[in-house]
Amino acid sequence: MVSFIYKGGSILASFLLVPLTITFLDTENYGLWLTLSSFIAWFSFFDIGLGNGLRNKFAEAKANGDLTLARAYVSSAYFTIGSVCLLLTLIFFVINFFVDWTRVFNANAGLQKELGILMPIVFSFFCLQLVVKLITTIYTADQHHSMQGKVNFYTSVLSLLAIWLMTHVAKSSLLIFGTIFSALPVLLLLGLNVFAFSKTYKKYKPTLSLWKKEYLKDIFGLGISFFFIQLAWIIITTTDNMIISQLFSPAQVVPYNLAFKLFSISSMIFTIIVAPYWSTFTEAYFKKDYDWIKKSMKNLKRFVIVFCLFSFVLLLISNLLFELWVGKKVEISFGLSFLMCIYTCLIIYLTPLNYFINGVGKIKLQLYQTIIMGILNIPISIFLAKYCGLGVLGVLLGTILCVIPGAFLSAIQFNKIINQRAFGLWGK
């Protein structure tokens, strides 16, 4: 219930944020910010899968009562990702001197200086966030699933207050906007780290003396597969903004993202319901409680149907909702809304299946299929958008076509694993 309250508040705040942001930045600069954010998000794969690896290994060590091992996993994850992010930040600062970001994002040439200052700031805060957000992984692994929702809620509310103040006291500035919005989540997560490791998780506080290769190898053994899966999904889900910006303009990114935000209401609420199952699937599987897993998945399938129906209700009233939300500032076609609805339903369907597969660590098949999907997504999207004349719709259709095979394969793999018939690639 707590998760729903925080997630609901976060969704409401993020929706209120959009019209204020468009007013402050204008449509083109808002589209540029969305594209820039997607570009930076590509680098999230540099956590090299250790976040998800830590989630499984921390839960396993804690369940076995091995507190020293659990702390060692935490220490290894923090110091490894911290070192990688520090190196990345230094490299990015050097590269920044030689890159014209207006060409990368197909933006107005007059923004070259501003983007040259903003990009290293945003990237630095992003790298810091990769480290400090590990605390939410620990909370989640320990069955405290509402913590991520709380962080998102407070970030959204503070962001809303910040943009409201900026519209009253500051001139439109992508630099100011980007700096504030990059810093807020980092400051919140940093505060949570200090609190958690001084109170709730004091006994798991990271220490350099516990960083050892064998502990890192344990996390990384599973994490390396998660790394490539995460990388592929980043390509699938975030390259659309870059493709749209390059083929058309940053302004065209805005209707795409507004449609995504509207229909993501379904998937975000559904994720709140499913989130606790990752770790509980892990525990139940290793206890061979297959009946509980089957019963749980059957219940989740009912929720899948409910939230897919809810997505279609959103589709039917989407034009009214968009008008109430952003007025006449942005035009979103019904075709774009329809495809976004289909994409959302696919994600909802896949979520419980992938949570189970990830939770039990049988991810080799998912690894191969997502890599293939990630490779094919960009050329298919460009082909449909540019050469078939489908425009922005073609970009989204390309993403949908790449996700569909994974839905079938994940369903087959779940049935094989739960019925103990997962041989070869199906059981790795």
pLDDT in tens, 11-65: 788 888 888 888 888 778 888 888 887 777 666 555 556 666 777 777 777 777 7
What are the residue ranges of helices labelled H in 170-212? 174-198
Residue 218 has pLDDT above 70, yes or no: no
* Higher pLDDT among residues 285 and 121, named by residue: 121
pLDDT number for residue 222: 56
Structural domain range at position 316: 2-427
Burial 97-122 (b: 16+ CB within 10 A, else e): eeeebbebbbbeeebeebbeebbbeb
Task: Pick the range with the lowest mean pLDDT from 14-28, 159-173, 215-229, 243-257.
Answer: 215-229
- One-letter amino acid at 325 equals W
Give helix 290-316 / helix 318-326 axis angle, nearest 10°. Answer: 70
pLDDT number for residue 318: 92
pLDDT number for residue 338: 96
Residues 20 and 160 sit within 8 Å (Cβ to Cβ): yes
CA neighbours closer than 13 Å in the CB half-sphere of residue 239: 19
What's the pTM value of the predicted model, to 2 decimals? 0.73
pLDDT number for residue 420: 79
Lookup: tokens for 229: 């899966």
Q: What is the mean predicted confidence (pLDDT) over 319-330?
A: 86
Query: What is the pLDDT of the chain when averaged over all its residues?
Result: 83
What are the residue ranges of helices labelled H in 248-391? 253-274, 277-286, 290-316, 318-326, 334-360, 364-382
pLDDT tens, residue by residue, 381-401:
999 998 898 999 999 999 999
Residue 323 has pLDDT above 60, yes or no: yes
* Higher pLDDT among residues 360 and 102, named by residue: 102
Cα 294 versus chain centre, distance? 27
What are the residue ranges of helices labelled H in 26-173? 27-41, 50-63, 67-96, 101-104, 112-132, 134-141, 146-169
pLDDT number for residue 43: 63
pLDDT number for residue 52: 67
Q: What is the mean predicted confidence (pLDDT) over 76-100?
A: 88
- One-letter amino acid at 219 equals I
Confidence of residue 357 (pLDDT cuts 50, 70, 90): confident
Residues 138 and 201 sit within 8 Å (Cβ to Cβ): yes
Lookup: tokens for 197: 């490791």
Residue 100 has pLDDT above 80, yes or no: yes
Q: Tell me which DSSP letter residue 383 carries.
A: I
Residue 139 has pLDDT above 80, yes or no: yes
Confidence of residue 69 (pLDDT cuts 50, 70, 90): confident
**Number of separate domains in the chain:** 1
- Highest mean pLDDT among 74-78, 206-210, 255-259, 370-374 belongs to 255-259
Q: Say how far apart CA 265 and CA 85 lie, in whole Å.
A: 32
